[in-house]
Every structure is written in structure tokens, then in C-alpha cells.
Amino acid sequence: MSQTAGQSLSQMATKAINRPVPDYLDGLNGEQREAVETLEGPVLVLAGAGTGKTRVLTTRIAHILNEGVASSWNILAVTFTNKAAFEMKERIGQLVGCTVEGMPWLGTFHAICVKILRRHAELVDLKSGFTILDTDDQIRLLKQIIKAENIDEKRWPARHLASLLDRWKNRGLVPSKVPAGEAYTFANGKGAELYEAYQKRLKELNAVDFGDILLECLRLFQEHNDVLKEYQNRFRYMLVDEYQDTNVAQYLWLRLLAQGTHNVCCVGDDDQSIYGWRGAEVDNILRFEKDFPGAKVIRLEQNYRSTGHILAAASALIAHNSERLGKTLHTNIGDGDKVLLRGCWDHEEEARNISDQIEQLQREQHSFEDMAVLVRASSQMRAIEDRFVTIGLPYRVIGGPRFYERMEIKDAIAYFEVVFNNANDLKFERIINTPKRGLGEASLRPVYEYARAKSISLVDSARTLINTEELRPAARNSITKLMDQFDHWQQMAKMMSHTELAQIILDESGYTAMWQKDKSPQAPGRLDNLKELIRFMDEFDTMAAFLEHVSLVMDTDSGNDGERVSLMTLHSAKGLEFDTVFLPGWEEGLFPHQRSLDESGQTGLEEERRLAYVGITRAKKRATISFAQNRLTHGQWQTSMPSRFIDELPADHVDVMESLSFGSPSHSLKPQRMSSRETVAEDIYSEPRWNRHKAQRKITTIEGKARRIKKVHKSAYETGERVFHQKFGYGHITTIEGDKLTIDFEKAGEKRVVESFVEKPQST
């Protein structure tokens, strides 16, 4: 479908009213259709695995627009991950037939809350340009606070406090509301006190952490009824994806908004709630009908993904959980193959069996792309990878350390942040001595002391002190040189593109050279990542746009370069599907994980069982579950029992495969073939396995991401028009040059900004 550029969703919608039968409803089953068409009042869509959840969500939005009951900017649609948000935008675009620039309130909880907070920052003691701290910055800050309070850092590590604060924030608790008993769990009663000190410090830095983004937005709504009313009025229809993953703060936030029109539609699956350990509250979905009176509950039970045996096995397993709303999934794809179950002597044999089965499937013309190995813990990946590397089987690891979490990427971004926003103390601390400039703790002490005494930023403190005798000559020279460099880069920013400047900063600061000199095996990869970062930056118009993006979007896509088997944890597999799925490591202690049982008892067990359910339901056609009698853990051989989940599988839907070496350490290398067509397929696979490309662990790239960001060329604004900018506030456009606007701001004066950063004033 091609659309005239600039045509908005609302125009589309208005036009569509005259269309007789909306074709987007075609092919929906009864329940899906009901979920799409029940627009008024609270709706809970219980969407089982593979029942077309995303389709319902996106079609519902298309329906709202098509019916003309609300405009795109009156629809709030929240997701948990950026990936999910992008996918939704893409699919709505396909349905409605135009770009999604017109869905300003579709995004992650965090992205939407940041947007709201930037508009009303002063009301929660922030300034609109506040920075968002990542976990590293947060820990660094907490360390300083713990130290300042004279608490033993050893006994009370900052990361423990960080996770404690996180849990409080997830529950919507501000320092004053932390229950006394819990406040005493850290540093002999200093918990709440430290929380308060930390929040105070954040305000001084004009910063928020991830938890605050939600909490402050919630506080904004709670304490400023006029603001709440404004948003209740704005959001005529609200949609929430993966509702089972919401935490208390998100629930409270949503409930406040839903008190407006009550048109809130939550989509989720209680059986797939696997993030309890990071604050998700299954109870939110279980309690929905009580929380939202008059709610309609619609169950999607028609599964379009898996064959009968797989679905039956998964359903029987999850039926052992008591805390669930209950669904009966059915499929009409046919019975298909039974779930395979295999016991192995040890994890090495388990890995061999998996690779043998993969090769057999490959001979039968199945693509590696359609196969995945899903593990409970990443420590299991080692054995699998070792085997794949040995036989040269191409594979890719999904998840793992994300691009923006890599040290070199964070360092590089810290440089850019300091150059463009030199008040950013935490980023400054990160790079002041990276690469080594002889600026250790001792040399910098006067800088810290002066900054604290005068309540100024570290950069300003450093700039003052280099003109005095406070610093040792070596440190003074070193800092002077660095400050001159910052000045130099700031000057250059006006003369060249942000990508060129980024390269210059990395080179002139000695950062690139630092990794070039480094002889560790990771160093070349890190240099590649830096190149990748700069290539990615090119997709943004300005450095500021880029930096705003990275502070929220910590997500990467892996490129598709050739067919590979996917290897990932069960957690990262949620939402994905594969023809063939391997589920190794179903042993007591590993799955269900001992720690989960110890820490959360029955609740923990049920969450583990949901994880098992998620695993099985990823499979469209084939699922193989396996367990090993012996496993090397922490360098110790351990013997374990098959998982209790195996006993819970229904015998009728499972085939038990006898492993030749099972029960004895005979290490039979004879492959266990499952298919009788081995000889027929032999010529298809005439090349020996070592002729294939050597498998390499994939370095995650961000190419996938880059594709999605479009550059805006044609201006949607006119000279003289009044616009709003998140940092500078309101102003009038004086000049337009391509996508760059010169705006005379009412408060900030004349600035040159990029078009994508301004918006039309609100007309509510």
C-alpha cells in the first residue's frame, strides 16, 4: 500500500468511515474479533501462547482509528521492550497503510513516562533536560553515598542497595513510604535514609534512574490532579501489552489513567509470567476483574502455532500450577510429532545428541534458522557451544551482553556526553582517566573536594583548579590538556557532522589508541564495536538525538548473515517461535533452579513451571526435552535427578528416546539417528561437516535497528509557527533550512534545532 506522504492516521481514519466492511477484520476468529471490537470499558484479553496476541492488539488500534472514535494521538499503547514497540508500529503501519509518526503515545512504559516527565519536570523537582542514569552510574553514585555515610562498603555493597531501591521503586514506594521493617534490612536500619539521600543527590544532578522514570511520573499524577486530568482526557483508549509483566508502580500508573475513560485493554498471559524476580506482579493480571470493575475478560484459546502433541504436553504441564486463571488451548494444525524426551549420561552427550539431531534435520532440508536451543541458565551454553564449534555447526547466541552495555560503547558515549553536556559528573568520572592520564583518586581529590564545597560540577571544579596551585603539577598539566581538548571538540561540533566529530574525539582522546595497544583477544572486537557505533550514529541527525536515544534504548538486533541455529535462554525466547526446539538441562536443581525454590518457594516453583511452559510452546513442530545425569557445575561433577517437570508431562504425548550410553559412562560416539531416511539423505549432505563455515560466535550488531530510523527531509512546519521543544520550551520558528529549524524560544532565546525534536503545541 502506498500512501501520500504527510497523510495522517486521522485523515486515513476519517476517509475509512465510508468504507463498508473493514477488511482488516477478515480472518479473525470470534474471540479475536470480540477483543478487537469491544472498545468501551475495561477489557482483559487472556492470550495464550500462539493465539495471535499481537494481531489483536494492532488490529484493535486500527479499528479504533477506522471507527473514528479517537485520533492516533489519543491512543496510549504501552509495551515493555523497544523491540515490541517497534514491531507494533510496523504492523499498525501495514494495517492502516501509513507511517506511524502519528502514534506519538505508542512506546515502552519508560519512553512514555520520560515524554510526560520532560513536559512537567518542574513539578517533580527536575529540569526538563534531566539525564537518565544507567545501572553503572547508579552504582557509582550509591557507592559515594554509602562512603559518605561511613558505612562499610564491604559488608553493604552498593549493588545490594541498588537492587533494594529498585524493588521499592517497582512497588511504587517513595522513601517516606518504605515500611519500617524493610528499611532496616540494609546497613542496620539505614536503608530508607540512604534511599532518601540518593534521591536528593539525583535531584542535585538533575538525573533520574530507570525506576524513577515510572515512580516520578506516578508521583506527578498523584500530586497534580490537573496534570492527571489532562492525560486522562487525552488518552481516550489505552492498551497494554504483556500485562502479566507489569509491576506495582506500572499498575498504579495505569489505574490512575484508566479512571478517565475506563477504556483500558490489557493483553497478557498469566501462564507466561516469568519476570517476577524483577518486580513483575502476576497478581496484577489475576486481580484484573476486581481492579477494573465491569471488566470483560476474553480468552484467546485457538492456537495457531503448535501441533497437537506439543500443545497437549505444554497444557498438561502448566495445569500443575494453582495460581492461574486457566485456559484451554486447542489447535487444528493436527497432532504432529510427539514431544521427544531423552536422558543422557552427561552434558557433553546431551550436546552431542542435540547436534546430531540438528544435522539429521538439516539433511532432511530443514533450515538452521528454524531451530533453537533454549537453556535455563547461560552456563549451560558452554557445552552446547563447544560441541557446535567442534563440528562447525553455525549458530548464533541471542541475548548476552547488549551492545550498549559493552564497556567500550559506554566509554565512548561518556566522552560524547561530557563534550555535549559537560555537567554530567558521572560520565566525566568514567572517562577522566580512561585512557590512563595519571589522574587517579589521589590526584583528583582536590577536584572532588572543591566541587562538593562549591556545589558545582566536576568539570567546572577542574576548570577552576587548573588556574590555581591546588593540584600537583603533573595532574594539573594532564587536566589542562584534557580541558583544552574538550574546548577544542566543542568548537569543532559547530563545524562538522556529529559522526566525524565522534571519530575525532575517540582518536584524539587516545581512546582508540588504548585498544589498539591492548593485546588481549577482545581488543579487536571492541574496536569493531566502536566503528559500528559511529556507523549507527549516522542514522541520527544530531549528537543530541543520538544521546537521547541511547539513554533509553538498550536494545540491539542481530544481523542475518547466513543460516544459523539460535541459542538462548528460555527468558529471551519468550515471544519467539521455531519449528524445532531443544530444551536441555531438565534436571532438579537446574530446572527448576534451586535458587528459585530456596528464595521463593512455591511461587518460585510455579514461575519455573511457567518458564518450562514458555519453552515448550515456542515449538511449532518438534520439541526435544533432555536431561543429563551428570553435569560439571562450578568445576564440580554433580549428579542430579530428572526434573519434576518431566514427571508432569503426559505420557500419551511424549516419546521417550533411549540413549545408547544412558546409564553408563561408555561414551558411545555412535550417533543416534532418529530418521530411517538417513541413507537417502546422505547425498544431499555429501560434504563433510568440517567443510562448512567455521562457526563463530556472533558479534551482535545494530544494523537491524538502523534500518528503522528514517531521516526527515520535508518540513512539516512553517516559518512563524509556534512549536514546543522538550528542552527549550515554546518558541516561534524564524528560519527553516532542510530539517534544521531556527527557533526563537520564549525562555532560551534563539537556538538551531532539528525538526524531529520539536512538536506542535498541545491543543487539548
Partner DNA sequence: GGGCGTTGCGTTTTT
Partner DNA sequence: CGCAACGCCC
Question: Which residue numbers are catalytic?
Answer: 53-54, 241-242, 272, 618
Rounded Cα–Cα distance for residues 98 and 1 (Å): 8
Length of the chain: 764
Q: Which of 23, 26, 154, 691 binds DNA (CB under 7 A)?
A: 154
Rounded Cα–Cα distance for residues 35 and 32 (Å): 5
CB under 8 Å to 304, separation ≥6 — which residues? 50, 51, 52, 331, 333
Q: How far is CA 626 from the centre of its chain?
A: 29
Is 630 one of the binding residues for DNA (CB under 7 A)?
Answer: no
Q: Which of 32, 59, 82, 512 binds DNA (CB under 7 A)?
A: 82
Is 189 one of the binding residues for DNA (CB under 7 A)?
Answer: no
- Report the residue number, 192 or 439, with the smaller CB distance to DNA: 439
Is 443 one of the binding residues for DNA (CB under 7 A)?
Answer: yes
End-to-end Cα separation, the chain, in angstroms: 32
Q: What does DSSP say about strands 722-725 and 758-759: parallel, antiparallel, or unpaired?
A: antiparallel
| Inter-residue contact 530 to 347 (CB < 8 Å) | no
Rounded Cα–Cα distance for residues 60 and 72 (Å): 12
Of 172-180, 435-443, 667-675, 676-684, which segment contacts DNA by CB under 7 A?
435-443
Cβ 540 to DNA, closest distance in Å? 18
- 97 SS3 class: coil
String of contacts with DNA for each residue 541-560, x by CB under 7 A: -----------xxxx-----
- Report the residue number, 300 or 451, with the smaller CB distance to DNA: 451
| Inter-residue contact 698 to 403 (CB < 8 Å) | no
Q: Which of 8, 54, 433, 497 binds DNA (CB under 7 A)?
A: 433
Is 399 one of the binding residues for DNA (CB under 7 A)?
Answer: yes
CB under 8 Å to 4, separation ≥6 — which residues? none
- Report the residue number, 108 or 263, with the smaller CB distance to DNA: 108
Of 39-47, 151-159, 177-185, 682-690, which segment contacts DNA by CB under 7 A?
151-159
String of contacts with DNA for each residue 85-124, x by CB under 7 A: -----------------------x-xx-------------
CB under 8 Å to 678, separation ≥6 — which residues? 360, 363
Rounded Cα–Cα distance for residues 142 and 41 (Å): 44
Is 726 one of the binding residues for DNA (CB under 7 A)?
Answer: no
| Inter-residue contact 116 to 221 (CB < 8 Å) | no
Is 571 one of the binding residues for DNA (CB under 7 A)?
Answer: yes
1, HSE (Cβ side, Cα atoms, 13 Å): 11
Q: How many residues bind DNA (CB under 7 A)?
A: 45
Q: Which of 200, 436, 452, 667 binds DNA (CB under 7 A)?
A: 436
Cβ 595 to DNA, closest distance in Å? 4
- Report the residue number, 24 or 130, with the smaller CB distance to DNA: 130
- Asked if the peptide bond before residue 584 counts as cis, ω within 30 degrees of 0, the response is no
Of 307-315, 433-441, 542-550, 719-727, which segment contacts DNA by CB under 7 A?
433-441
Cβ 212 to DNA, closest distance in Å? 10
Of 153-161, 358-366, 413-421, 495-503, which segment contacts DNA by CB under 7 A?
153-161
Which residues ranging from 273 to 312 are in contact with DNA (CB under 7 A)?
A: 277-278
Q: Which of 24, 73, 80, 546 binds DNA (CB under 7 A)?
A: 80
Q: Which of 68, 179, 440, 601 binds DNA (CB under 7 A)?
A: 440
Cβ 495 to DNA, closest distance in Å? 32
- Residue 617 Ramachandran class (φ > 0 left, ψ -120 to 50 alpha, else beta): alpha
Report the sign of the C-alpha dihedral through residues 694, 698, 699, 705, in that order.
positive
String of contacts with DNA for each residue 599-618, x by CB under 7 A: x-------------------
Cβ 114 to DNA, closest distance in Å? 8
Is 638 one of the binding residues for DNA (CB under 7 A)?
Answer: no
- Report the residue number, 435 or 650, with the smaller CB distance to DNA: 435
Which secondary structure element, helix H or strand E, spans residue 76, and what is its range?
strand 75-79
Is 645 one of the binding residues for DNA (CB under 7 A)?
Answer: no
Is 438 one of the binding residues for DNA (CB under 7 A)?
Answer: yes
- Report the residue number, 494 or 634, with the smaller CB distance to DNA: 634
Of 117-125, 283-291, 370-378, 525-533, which segment contacts DNA by CB under 7 A?
370-378
CA angle, residues 377, 383, 389, in degrees to nearest 5: 125
Which residues ranging from 572 to 591 are in contact with DNA (CB under 7 A)?
A: 572
- Report the residue number, 510 or 642, with the smaller CB distance to DNA: 510
CA-based nearest residue to 527, from 538, 537, 512, 540: 512
Q: 738 — phi, psi (to 5°)?
A: 60, -125
Q: Which of 128, 206, 379, 726 binds DNA (CB under 7 A)?
A: 379
Q: Give the CA dihedral 152, 156, 161, 167, nearest 10 degrees.
A: -150
- Report the residue number, 593 or 622, with the smaller CB distance to DNA: 593
Is 7 one of the binding residues for DNA (CB under 7 A)?
Answer: no
Cβ 431 to DNA, closest distance in Å? 13
| Inter-residue contact 288 to 295 (CB < 8 Å) | yes
DSSP one-letter string for 231-262: HHHH-SEEEESSGGG--HHHHHHHHHHHTTT-
CA angle, residues 710, 211, 246, in degrees to nearest 5: 80
Q: Which of 324, 430, 463, 593 binds DNA (CB under 7 A)?
A: 593
Is 187 one of the binding residues for DNA (CB under 7 A)?
Answer: no
DSSP strand E in 376-420: where? 395-397
Cell numbers 476486581 label which residue?
Answer: 290
Is 442 one of the binding residues for DNA (CB under 7 A)?
Answer: yes
Cell numbers placing 696: 563463530
Cell numbers placing 592: 527448576
Q: Which of 330, 402, 531, 707 binds DNA (CB under 7 A)?
A: 402
CB under 8 Å to 732, separation ≥6 — which residues? 720, 721, 722, 723, 743, 744
Is 634 one of the binding residues for DNA (CB under 7 A)?
Answer: yes
Cell numbers placing 601: 518457594
Is 515 one of the binding residues for DNA (CB under 7 A)?
Answer: no
- Report the residue number, 199 or 596, with the smaller CB distance to DNA: 596
Is 378 one of the binding residues for DNA (CB under 7 A)?
Answer: yes
Cβ 572 to DNA, closest distance in Å? 4
Q: Which of 596, 629, 700, 756 binds DNA (CB under 7 A)?
A: 596
Of 150-158, 264-272, 362-370, 746-754, which segment contacts DNA by CB under 7 A?
150-158
DSSP one-letter string for 643-672: PHHHHTS-GGGEEEEPPTTTTS-----S--
Q: Which of 23, 441, 683, 718 binds DNA (CB under 7 A)?
A: 441
Residues that bind DNA (CB under 7 A): 80-83, 108, 110-111, 135, 153-154, 157, 210-211, 277-278, 376-379, 399, 402, 433, 436, 438-444, 475, 552-555, 568-569, 571-572, 593, 595-596, 599, 634-635
